[in-house]
């Protein structure tokens, strides 16, 4: 059976707009017949994956997700002295190995160098691509069919191993995600608020025009969010070719980022950076389960943080009473009471 690591985090954000919908409003969800603020898993994973903590903790083992690898190859070939027409043709061929090329566009002469779907490249695959570009530039020839096998089933990209990869044009190289991240939701009901603001023109002395130089409106909300993360440690090791040390480094980097890194939306306007106030880490071979049901009824008390922790623990204990223990070991950290340490959580999940 697989070994699962489950994380339950409570993080409080002040007024913010960390993750916007198509209208620019903070994302929401209805839960327990009450409106909650929501941060999507895509937003969270992007923030963690691109954080300095994650990149430093997994240095040399973080992939690149892009539609524009063909543009990079084209530029590299031209810098190596290949004629522009040939460089474009060869780069289009290489890019087409990772997805369907975009249609030619008279207004965008390099449009077909991009692919329609984002492709996630491991560091090894990026090296393969650029090595092929060097070879064909040196030999001044187009790539042959054998050289175009640039993807790999085995690699050391921890972000692909954790969050998976789906390539419609090359399903052989798809990878099942070893980490599942839920959407974070507030443990209480929230109403999205409006902020009307103005900006003053520094050179306007107000002699003729007393009005503002700019007026606008933005929306925000604040709340205490519950987040659930589930990691299949055995699948992660398998995805990383059984490199246990790399898997442990990746897990540590992800947990550190989840505890301390906020999504980047509207950060300059709200400075809404926050650390997790409470973390419950569990590990074992039992079937994983979220504890979001603890907040099905929105909390309405003044002691929100303490009550959220209590409800989470009570929910865990009641589920254990009904189904049996849903983990083998657990470790807690509570910044509200100053108990436990993040380092203890990191040691616990990798030991």
The single-letter DSSP state of residue 56 is H
Q: Range of 98's domain?
A: 65-156
Mean pLDDT of 148-168: 93
| Predicted pLDDT of residue 201 | 84
| Main-chain phi, psi angles of 182, to 5 degrees | -80, 160
Mean pLDDT of 58-64: 96
Give the chain's domain count: 2
Measure the CA–CA gap between 104 and 121, rounded to whole angstroms.
Answer: 24
End-to-end CA distance of the chain: 18
- The structure's pTM equals 0.92
Question: Is residue 22 one of the residues assigned to a domain?
Answer: yes
Question: Is residue 208 one of the residues assigned to a domain?
Answer: no
In which band, very low, low, confident or very high, does the pLDDT at 205 lie, cut at 50, 70 and 90? confident
Is the pLDDT score of 1 beyond 70?
no
Structure tokens at 227: 């987040």
Measure the CA–CA gap between 226 and 9, rounded to whole angstroms.
Answer: 6
Question: Is residue 201 one of the residues assigned to a domain?
Answer: no
Is the pLDDT score of 195 beyond 90?
no
305 and 271 in a single domain? The answer is: yes
| Predicted pLDDT of residue 280 | 98
CA geometry: angle at 178 spanning 177 and 179, to 5°? Answer: 95
The single-letter DSSP state of residue 144 is P
Question: Is residue 290 one of the residues assigned to a domain?
Answer: yes
Is the pLDDT score of 209 beyond 90?
no
Mean pLDDT of 291-317: 97
Is the pLDDT score of 213 beyond 80?
no
320 and 235 in a single domain? The answer is: yes
In which band, very low, low, confident or very high, does the pLDDT at 275 lie, cut at 50, 70 and 90? very high
Mean pLDDT of 106-115: 93
Task: Give the helix/strand (H/E) hosting 14.
Answer: strand 4-16
Mean pLDDT of 141-150: 93
292 and 338 in a single domain? The answer is: yes
Mean pLDDT over the full length of the chain? 94
| Predicted pLDDT of residue 203 | 83
């Amino acid at each position: 059976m697989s070994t699962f690591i489950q994380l339950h985090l409570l993080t409080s954000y002040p007024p913010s707009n960390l993750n916007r919908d198509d209208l620019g409003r903070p994302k929401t969800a209805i839960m327990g017949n009450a409106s909650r603020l929501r941060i999507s898993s895509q937003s969270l994973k992007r923030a963690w994956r691109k954080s300095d903590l994650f990149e430093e903790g997994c240095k040399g083992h973080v992939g690149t997700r892009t539609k524009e690898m063909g543009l990079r190859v084209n530029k590299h070939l031209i810098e190596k002295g290949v004629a522009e027409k040939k460089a474009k043709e060869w780069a289009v061929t290489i890019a087409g190995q990772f997805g369907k090329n975009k249609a030619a566009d008279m207004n965008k002469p390099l449009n077909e160098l991009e692919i329609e779907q984002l492709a996630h490249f491991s560091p090894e695959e990026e090296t393969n691509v650029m090595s092929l570009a060097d070879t064909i530039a040196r030999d001044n020839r187009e790539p042959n069919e054998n050289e175009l096998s640039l993807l790999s089933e085995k690699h050391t990209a921890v972000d692909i191993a954790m969050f998976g990869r789906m390539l419609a044009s090359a399903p052989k190289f798809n990878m099942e995600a070893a980490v599942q991240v839920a959407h974070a939701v507030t443990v209480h009901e929230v109403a999205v608020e409006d902020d009307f603001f103005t900006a003053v023109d520094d050179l306007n002395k107000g002699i003729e025009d007393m009005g503002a130089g700019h007026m606008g409106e933005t929306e925000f909300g604040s709340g205490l969010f519950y987040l659930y993360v589930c990691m299949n440690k055995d699948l992660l090791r398998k995805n990383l070719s059984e490199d246990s040390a790399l898997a442990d480094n990746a897990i540590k980097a992800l947990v550190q980022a989840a505890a301390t890194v906020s999504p980047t939306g509207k950060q300059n306007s709200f400075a809404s950076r926050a650390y997790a106030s409470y973390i419950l880490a569990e590990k074992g071979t039992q079937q994983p389960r979220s504890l979001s049901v603890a907040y099905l009824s929105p909390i309405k008390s003044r002691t929100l943080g303490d009550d959220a922790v209590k409800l989470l623990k009570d929910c865990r204990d009641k589920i254990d009473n009904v189904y049996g223990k849903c983990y083998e070991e657990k470790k807690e950290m509570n910044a509200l009471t100053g108990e436990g340490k993040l380092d203890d959580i990191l040691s616990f999940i990798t030991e």
